[in-house]
Amino acid sequence: MAKVKCPRCFYVNPDGQETCVKCNTTLPKIKIEVAQSAAAPPPNPNEIQLRRGQVLANRYTVLNLIGRGGMGCIYKVHDNVLGEDVALKTLLPQFVQDKLVLERFFNEARIARRLAHPNIVRVHDIGSASGVVYISMEFLRGKSLRNVLESLGPNQRIPLPEVLRIMDELCAALEYAHQYTIHRDIKPENIMIGLDGTIKLMDFGISKLMATQRLTGASVVMGTPYYMPPEQVRNSRDVNPSSDIYSAGVVLYEILTGYVPSGVPKPASELYQDLPKELDAIVAKCVDPDPKKRFQTAAELRAALRPLRERLDGKGPVLATPKVAALPAPPPERGRRIAGILAALGILIAAAAGVYGFELRRQQMSAATVTPVADADTGAAFDAMRQAIARIRAHAEIRAQHSQERKRIFEDAEKRWNAAQMEARNDEAQALTLAQQAMQHYMAVILLREGMAFVPPGPVSLNGATVHVPGFLIDTREVTLEEYARFCNAVTGGWPFPQALEEHLTAQPRLPVSMVAFYDAQAYAAWAGKLLPTEAQWARAAYGGPGASSMYPWGDAWEEDACNCQGDAEWASLAPVGSFEKDRTWSGCYDMAGNVAEWTRTPANSGQEPDFGRSMVLRGGHYRSQGIPLDAADKAAYESKHLHHVGFRCVIELPTDPGAALAALDRPS
């Protein structure tokens, strides 16, 4: 039998009920049936899978049951390997034989495992033992955003600066996650607020990986209807990053007003006069029924909210139990319908666009679009590039005055751009190649950070093949203990620092950090606004330059004192980064032949993607090795390994198309 969820208090009412049993709100007339994967026996409320004190998989000591749902339980356990308390999510026995449920359960771990970000719940392990299928993950102390909202009194709400802080961290999590997947179930229940204020996005169980569609069916609606965009209601496969933006917009409107936006809802500033009108256009653009008219990325939404957040000076920590502000009594009209569902059913009409300022959105979108200036003798593609480079070059010219290195890169960009314009009338393809190279040089001038080097676009020989690598910025030195410790302390709620290296942190802070797993390195890179290098990027920076040796940075012959590589000697140890001038590559990077080997984000099996339990490529020599050439066959290690001879450095990728470059100019640094 169909049921109807109240848009105000979320109580699930029986079919035929016209007003909510709990709060008397008028209920929607339309009901959505959400298909289930398979019928399963109802769970036994008295069934206990794990008991206090029980040890599972010779690793997890059960402390207590902290939650139970229709498909599984969550326990607080002590991980005897990690030496910390973690959450253990288990699947109820009646679902273990359901292949689709089991696959989706494991899919959550596979997806979340690769998403190492301070604002995403961290997954540690996956497995089965004694008939129990489980995922172990970070133990979160705090409340869900839903719990926080429900704890507010009838005339209370979260202050706007804290709302914007929540949204900023949610956008940061989505911006990172969208490199790999679409969440598809953004709602207050899946947004955790830690005791220290950290926002953590969780529950990627129905997430859709960019590269696979095998877990979704066209006839199965997956997600939470009140937060789903119209295209997801129609077909769960038909989603992209803007689908999550829609859901985030619903969450924002709900936090601001206490309602989910539905029908043709009033702008938030009309409901509560103390809310700024700028929010109306932002919310409207998020929940536009047309995916093409929404913010296309979480970075765009984050950038739109940032000026308002800065104006309100909302930089303090978000509270787990927020301060609350009094608000006027809510308006009498409570009967609202879900915008996404009505749009999906053809009931939502274009009038909603007018309510939220369609013309303003049109102007905003138009301003962000590159309009080519036609040239009679060149093609439209090159003309678009010409207009973009004019703006990018103006920014780069100012930055070029800040250092000799920037000036040198700018002069190289000028040469390439002049050559591109001369070639445009003869060979547009070649002209576009030169223009793209010039654009990457200009962007390098703008984005260059202290401690990083610019590696221009070019070829490198990798595993017997020649690979062209676009330009990028790379750390000249490996990440140090003090830098990694700064990250661990800066992340609200903390990030584990390698215990084995704590004694060295004060005495030798410039040692390269090691004992970090692949996902730890990923998390640091995300916090720093960078990425781990691909294997090709690492190789290009190591030996891909003109005249560079593919053996060692100093040449083709091994030299004992040229780098920190002592082999298996008992006295072998790490050295402070940058200690060996000879171990400096053509691009300006130190320690690529020695000190620590380095994680890349390239899987050891080129046919796979980074995933749980897979091995990742390591490159470079290390202090326990001796004489390993820079282009040696790649080594590999499981991404969960903490190895004393493995560390990492990071890169910043430079845009390769004018639209992305212009967007990067507008993105706050």
Tell which wins on pLDDT, 207 or 423.
423
- Would you state the pLDDT for residue 2? 44
Let me know whether 597 and 495 are in one domain. Answer: yes
How large is the average pLDDT for residues 172-194? 88
Quick check: is 658 in a domain?
A: no
pLDDT at 102 > cutoff 80: no
Residue 374 lies in a domain: no
Q: What is the 3-state secondary structure (H, E, C) of 581-595?
A: CCCECCCCCECCCCC
User: Binning pLDDT at 50, 70 and 90, where does residue 220 land?
Assistant: very low
For residues 166 and 299, state if they share a domain.
Answer: yes
The answer to whether residue 11 scores a pLDDT higher than 70 is no
Mean pLDDT comparison of 68-72, 131-135, 209-213, 460-464, highest-scoring range? 460-464
d(CA 73, CA 247): 26
Q: Which CATH number do you get for residue 581?
A: 3.90.1580.10
Least confident piece of the model among 11-20, 193-202, 501-510: 11-20
Q: Poorest-confidence range of 20-34, 116-130, 606-620?
A: 20-34
Q: Are residues 283 and 419 in the same domain?
A: no
Q: What is the pLDDT of residues 478-506, one digit of tens each?
A: 999 999 999 998 876 678 898 888 889 98
* Res 428: pLDDT: 83
For the segment 78-98, the average pLDDT, to the nearest whole number, is 83
Q: Where a domain ends, among 345, 367, 389?
A: 367
> Considering the domain boundaries, does residue 37 fall inside one?
no
User: What is the reported pLDDT for 4?
Assistant: 62
Question: Is position 49 within any domain?
Answer: no
Cα dihedral sign, 448-451-455-456: positive
Q: What is the pLDDT of residue 483?
A: 96
Mean pLDDT in residue range 354-370: 29
Give a yes or no: residue 669 inside a domain.
no
Same domain, 133 and 167: no
Residue carrying the six token digits 């950290």:
198
Of 164-178, 367-381, 440-454, which range is least confident? 367-381
The pLDDT confidence band at residue 108, using thresholds 50, 70 and 90, is low
Strands (E), 394-500: 452-455, 458-462, 465-469, 472-475
Instruction: Note down the domain range covering 27.
Output: 1-31
Cα torsion at 636, 642, 644, 646 (round to 10°)? 40
Residue 63 has pLDDT above 80, yes or no: yes
Do both 519 and 406 map to the same domain? no
For the purposes of burial, counting CB atoms within 10 Å of the CB of 371, is it exposed (0-12), middle (13-18) or buried (19 or more)? exposed
Q: What is the pLDDT of residue 5?
A: 59
Same domain, 152 and 131: no
pLDDT the model gives residue 326 = 37
Average pLDDT over residues 7-30: 67
The total domain count for the chain is: 5
Whether residue 332 is found in the same domain as residue 391: no
Res 236: pLDDT? 60
pLDDT at 447 over 80: yes
**Is a pLDDT exceeding 60 seen at residue 651?**
yes
Assign 10 a pLDDT band (cuts: 50, 70, 90): low
Confidence of residue 124 (pLDDT cuts 50, 70, 90): confident
531 forms beta bridges with 651
Residues 487, 594, single domain; the answer is yes
User: What is the per-residue pLDDT across 554-594, written as a single tens digit (0 to 9) for each?
Assistant: 999 988 889 988 876 666 789 999 999 999 999 999 999 99
Give the separation between CA 521 and CA 508, rounded to whole angstroms: 20
> Residue 19 has what pLDDT?
80
Q: Is the pLDDT of residue 345 over 70?
A: no
Residues 72 and 200 in one domain: no
Is residue 587 included in any domain, yes or no?
yes
Tokens coding 51: 């008991």
| pLDDT for res 48 | 56
- Residue the block writes with tokens 């060979």: 427
pLDDT 10s digits, 287-307: 888 999 999 999 999 999 999
- Residue 396, Cα to own-chain centre: how many angstroms? 28
Looking at the structure, tell me whether residues 250 and 154 fall in a common domain: yes
Q: What is the mean pLDDT of residues 337-347?
A: 29
Residue 635 pLDDT > 50: yes
- Compare 373 and 421 and report the one with higher pLDDT: 421
Q: Which range among 53-57, 231-235, 413-417, 621-625 shows the weakest confidence by mean pLDDT?
A: 231-235
| pLDDT tens string 228-286 | 888 776 666 668 899 999 999 999 999 998 877 765 668 888 888 889 999 999 999 99
Dihedral-angle region of residue 216 (phi above 0 means left; psi in -120 to 50 means alpha; beta otherwise): beta
> Residues with Cβ < 8 Å from 167, sequence gap 6 or more?
248, 251, 252, 301, 302, 305
CA–CA separation, 659 and 89 (whole Å):
42
Quick one: what percent of the chain has pLDDT higher than 90? 36
Q: Read off the amino acid at residue 524.
A: Y
- Reported as a pLDDT band with limits 50, 70 and 90, residue 28 is low
pTM, entire model: 0.58
Interval 536-549: pLDDT, tens: 999 999 999 988 99
Please indicate, yes or no, if residue 618 is contained in any of the structural domains.
yes
Establish if 404 belongs to a structural domain: yes
Per-residue pLDDT band at 70 (split at 50, 70, 90): low
With cut-offs at 50, 70 and 90, classify the pLDDT of residue 344. Answer: very low
Q: State pLDDT tens for residues 367-416.
A: 332 223 334 344 678 888 888 899 999 999 999 998 999 999 999 999 99
Are 115 and 147 contained in the same domain? no
Residue 527 has pLDDT above 90, yes or no: no
Residues paired with residue 618 on neighbouring β-strands, in sequence order? 599, 635
pLDDT number for residue 492: 66
Question: Residue 60 belongs to a domain with what CATH number?
Answer: 3.30.200.20
Q: What is the pLDDT of residue 183?
A: 86
Q: Are residues 329 and 418 in the same domain?
A: no
What pLDDT band is residue 212 in, cutting at 50, 70 and 90? very low
